[in-house]
């Protein structure tokens, strides 16, 4: 018998469609699904909170981390988290960065509420439970299971506002698939540093670069009380030259700056040696984070700061 803890957090998977819009259900739509879970899996369910995913904060993510660590001590083989899809990838990545216990952690959700035609919530939930019960899943880090695909938390992202196959892994693809309730892993997950933080303090700002960007936002940040800055830069990792002097003011204040590409595929690199190009930015002290989206790089910087990292140790955590 495999023991799986299910933690419900809210989101579309727990909602129903009404005339006024999609709203929270009086009875959780997954309450009647236990009869279709394979008999070799013993389910324990808890509602840890009930929030639409835009309401989720790092503090909520920390609550999940702490409950998962307790679940490991209680002898559970895996944990399934049902979650709204808007910030699901961020919660998944936060947990991937902060949980070192040998326990399977699977996040899933739904793009269609329980009473819509083609609702995907029950199906995704059952597949997620089966994945969490699989012995190999605990070796994969935190994963996201949607639409018969298994994605690594580090790279998965929501790519479509409403489609059921919205969760994709640009550049790298899924690490596994499900077929007829069987789990097949196709790739190895790259090891990365894990930080067992107990707080989520600090203000880390995320900016997106654009053509004609001026100094306004960077000047404000240089004068403000922030703990870190993440920039979604142009192309391989470049910025309009007008913002460079103001960005240098931010760096000179000792504020760590991480840079990713705003492109959905590829990685940020210091390739171009012109004003505002990646070569100049790296020489200034900007940290190039490879393969992450802006929202995930922000969480990585926040986790690093709460782990007490600074200087070269923080740089190593960000870029490797």
User: What is the secondary structure of 102-166 as a DSSP string?
Assistant: S-EEEEE--SS-TTSTT--HHHHHHHHHHHHHSGGGGGS-SEEEETTEEEETTT-EE--SS-TT-
Top-confidence residue, 21 or 256: 256
Domain with CATH 3.40.50.40 in the chain: 204-319
What integer pLDDT is reported at residue 17 of this predicted model? 58
What percent of the chain is predicted at pLDDT more than 70? 94
Span of 52-56, 221-225, 271-275, 312-316 with lowest mean pLDDT: 221-225
- The number of beta carbons lying within 10 Å of the beta carbon of residue 131 is 26
The residue from 9, 12, 137, 157 that is catalytic is: 12
pLDDT digits (tens, 9 = 90+) for 225-262: 999 999 999 999 999 999 999 999 999 999 999 999 99
First vs last Cα of the chain: how many Å apart?
A: 39
What was the pLDDT predicted at 77? Answer: 98
The pLDDT score that the predictor gives to residue 21 is: 57
23 has a pLDDT exceeding 70? no
Residue 66 to residue 260: CA distance in whole angstroms = 29
272 is written with which tokens? 């171009």
Quick one: fold of 204-319?
Answer: Rossmann fold (3.40.50)
Q: What is the pTM of this model?
A: 0.93
Q: Boundaries of CATH 3.40.50.1170 in the chain?
A: 2-185
Residue 168: Cβ within 10 Å count: 20
Neighbours of 270 (CB within 10 A): 18
Residue-wise pLDDT for 51-96, tens only, equals 999 999 999 999 999 999 999 999 999 999 999 999 999 999 999 9
Q: What is the pLDDT of residue 18?
A: 58
**pLDDT on residue 140:** 96
Residues 6+ away with beta carbon under 8 Å from 224: none
Q: In this predicted model, what pLDDT tens digit does every residue of 168-184 receive, in sequence order?
A: 999 889 999 999 889 99
Q: What is the dihedral of CA 153, 35, 8, 45, to 10 degrees?
A: -110
Assign 297 a pLDDT band (cuts: 50, 70, 90).
very high
Per mean pLDDT, which range of 26-40, 126-140, 192-206 is the poorest?
26-40
58 SS3 class: helix
* Mean pLDDT over each residue of the chain, to the nearest integer: 93
Task: Grade residue 22 by pLDDT with cuts at 50, 70 and 90.
Answer: low
For the cut 70, the answer to whether the pLDDT of residue 37 exceeds it is: yes
Mean pLDDT of all residues in 207-225: 95
CATH number of 2-185: 3.40.50.1170
C-alpha torsion sign, points 99, 143, 94, 111: negative
Question: Would you place residue 155 in the very low, low, confident or very high pLDDT band (cuts 50, 70, 90)?
Answer: very high
Q: Catalytic annotation on 12? A: yes
């Amino acid at each position: 018998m495999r023991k799986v803890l299910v933690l419900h957090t809210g989101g579309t998977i727990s909602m129903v469609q009404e005339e006024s819009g999609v709203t929270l259900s009086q009875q959780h739509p997954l309450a009647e699904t236990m009869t279709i879970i394979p008999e070799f899996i013993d389910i324990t369910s808890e509602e840890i909170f009930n929030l639409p995913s835009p309401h989720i904060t790092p503090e909520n993510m920390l609550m999940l981390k702490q409950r998962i660590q307790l679940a490991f001590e209680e002898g559970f083989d895996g944990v399934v988290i049902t979650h709204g899809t808007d910030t699901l990838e961020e919660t998944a990545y936060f947990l991937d960065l902060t949980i070192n216990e040998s326990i399977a952690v699977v996040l899933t959700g739904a793009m269609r509420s329980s009473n819509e035609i083609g609702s995907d919530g029950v199906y995704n939930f059952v597949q997620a439970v089966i994945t969490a019960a699989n012995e190999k899943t605990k070796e994969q880090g935190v994963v996201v299971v949607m639409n018969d695909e298994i994605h690594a938390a580090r790279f998965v992202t929501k790519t479509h506002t409403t489609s059921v196959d919205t969760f994709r892994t640009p550049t790298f693809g899924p690490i596994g698939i499900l077929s007829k309730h069987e789990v097949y892993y196709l790739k190895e997950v790259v090891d990365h540093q894990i930080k067992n933080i107990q707080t989520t303090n600090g203000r880390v700002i995320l900016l997106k670069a654009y053509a004609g960007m001026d100094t306004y936002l960077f000047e404000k940040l240089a004068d403000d009380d922030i703990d870190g800055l993440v920039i979604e830069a142009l192309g391989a990792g470049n910025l309009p030259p007008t913002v460079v002097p103001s960005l240098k003011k931010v760096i000179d204040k000792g504020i760590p700056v991480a840079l990713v590409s705003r492109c959905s595929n590829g990685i940020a690199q210091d390739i171009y040696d012109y004003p505002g190009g990646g070569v100049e930015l790296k020489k200034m002290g900007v940290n190039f984070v490879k393969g992450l989206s802006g929202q995930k790089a922000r969480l990585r910087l926040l986790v690093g700061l709460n782990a007490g990292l600074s200087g070269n140790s923080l740089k190593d955590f960000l870029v490797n």
